[in-house]
Each structure stands twice: as C-alpha cells, then as structure tokens.
Amino acid sequence: MVEAEKIIIRPVISEKSYAQIDHNRYTFEVDPRAHKTMIAQAVEQLFDVKVVDVATATVPPKPKRRGWTRGRTAGWKKAVVQLAPGDKIEFFEGR
C-alpha cells in the first residue's frame, strides 16, 4: 500500500468545496493513479474519520495565453469524500 501522504496531495479551497462541507463532503487533489478505495483508506488514515463514499473526477488541462506564448495548465484528479454523520475534518473548520 502506498503512503497516504502521497495519495492525498492537497485540499481544494474554493467556494464550491466550502459549500459542500455543510453536507459533510470534503474535496482533495489526489494522485492521478489512485482509485477510490486507496483514496478512502488514505483519508481514514490521515484524519481518523469514517469514509462513506468517494466521487472522483479528472479535471482537464485548460489552454492559457500570455502574450504570444500559448500553453496549458496541468490536468489533475479531484476526489470528493463523503464522511459518516458526526465525523468532520478539523483542517477545514477554520474558515
């Protein structure tokens, strides 16, 4: 099993992700090779909570321009984790 710190890269901080905290759903950027079971185990190990459901999505790269130079942002994988009722991740509570 891969270490949990390598599966969960960072929390996603946005209006949409903060609105879902009220419904006990937390959003993370995860390793693109990680599957739902690995993500659930990593969150449970890191934050000592019970994961009920995991939804994943691959965020595609977006085209960007700066003057004449064209490029793309990096694509990444996002996971929305549903926790059991009563569980919460304290990291997000300081909003």
Average pLDDT, the chain: 92
Residue 93: per-residue pLDDT: 63
Q: What is the spatial distance between Cα 47 and Cα 35, in angstroms, rounded to a whole number? A: 18
List of domains in the chain: 4-86 (3.30.70.330)
| pLDDT in single tens digits along all 95 residues of the chain | 568 889 999 999 999 999 999 999 999 999 999 999 999 999 999 999 999 999 999 999 999 999 999 999 999 999 999 999 999 888 766 55
Using CA atoms, how far residue 82 sits from 18, 41, 58, 67, in Å, is: 13, 13, 18, 42
> Which residue type does 91 have?
F
| Residue 94, φ and ψ in degrees, nearest 5 | -85, 30
The answer to whether the beta carbons of residues 40 and 51 sit under 8 Å apart is yes
The answer to whether the beta carbons of residues 17 and 55 sit under 8 Å apart is no
